[in-house]
């Protein structure tokens, strides 16, 4: 079960994304939320702190907390493997092409395989019913063997899972690292159909190579995010 501050944080984030609190609208005060939800002031304050860090709200001393201009886009703070796995908390995954073997020299090379064959699954992810990303995941054959018959990765499957969440119980060692690169690309016909945009539309491309505790690549994901529906935010802190 999630801590109470996370439940309140997610509820407020969803209400902002759905337009209940538009840009510049004041959110309920800490006292109002304490009374409405039966929470402690410390719990409410922690929820607000997370939302401020994500850029979803901003605070004006002496006046209150206000919704930021996120344009209804899906926004998540990502800073750990656990954050990536928790995408299932408030989004759904729809498999467009189930997990199956194919030859992909580039993907096999990035996964450091001896051969050219990988197992690939294509899906899109939705928030509040709107698709915001199309993702292609490539797995080494040895990794895919344990999940190739998984109903969660079959054609047309819809659920709240993540691929790494499906994979990890079957791995010899846990996933501990995701090496990420972010670039800009244009939607091809497949991506455009998945996220309901025109071919050639500018997209945010995020590549992640997941590795286990032994340093072995276990998954390569290539995602194309629709900028109108998604904001990527990372908070950097001084070390030490």
SS3 134: strand
Domains of the chain listed by start with CATH number? 4-67 (1.10.10.10), 74-233 (3.40.1410.10)
Quick one: residue 72, left, alpha or beta (phi over 0 = left, psi -120 to 50 = alpha)? left
Predicted local confidence at residue 113, as pLDDT:
94
Q: Give the mean pLDDT of the chain.
A: 87
**Within 10 A of 176 (CB to CB), how many other CB atoms are there?**
12
For residue 227, name the pLDDT band (cuts at 50, 70, 90): confident
Q: What is the pLDDT of residue 35?
A: 94
List, in order, residues 6 or more apart from 187 with CB less than 8 Å away. 195, 197, 198, 199, 200, 201, 202, 203, 224
Q: Which two tokens mark 83?
A: 């954050």
Check pLDDT > 80 for residue 158. yes
Evaluate if pTM is beyond 0.85: no
Query: 183 vs 128, which has greater pLDDT?
Result: 183
């Amino acid at each position: 079960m999630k801590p109470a501050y996370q439940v309140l944080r997610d509820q407020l984030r969803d209400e902002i994304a759905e337009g209940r609190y538009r840009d510049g609208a004041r959110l309920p005060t800490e006292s109002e939320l304490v009374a409405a939800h039966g929470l402690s002031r410390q719990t409410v304050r922690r929820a607000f702190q997370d939302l401020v860090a994500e850029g979803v709200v901003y605070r004006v001393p002496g006046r209150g907390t206000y919704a930021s201009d996120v344009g209804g886009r899906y926004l998540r703070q990502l800073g750990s493997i656990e954050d990536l796995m928790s995408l299932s908390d408030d989004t759904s995954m729809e498999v467009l092409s189930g997990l199956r073997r194919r030859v992909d020299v580039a993907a096999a090379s990035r996964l450091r395989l001896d051969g050219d064959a990988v197992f690939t699954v294509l899906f899109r992810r939705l928030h509040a019913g709107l698709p915001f990303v199309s993702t292609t995941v490539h797995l080494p054959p040895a990794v895919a063997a344990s999940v190739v018959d998984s109903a969660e990765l079959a054609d047309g499957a819809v659920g709240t899972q993540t691929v790494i969440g499906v994979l990890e119980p079957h791995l010899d060692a846990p996933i501990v690292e995701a090496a990420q690169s972010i670039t800009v690309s244009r939607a091809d016909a497949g991506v455009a159909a998945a996220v309901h945009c025109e071919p050639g539309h500018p997209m945010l491309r995020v590549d992640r190579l997941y590795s286990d505790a032994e340093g072995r690549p276990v998954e390569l994901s290539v995602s194309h995010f629709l900028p109108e529906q998604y904001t990527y935010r990372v908070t950097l802190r001084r070390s030490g």
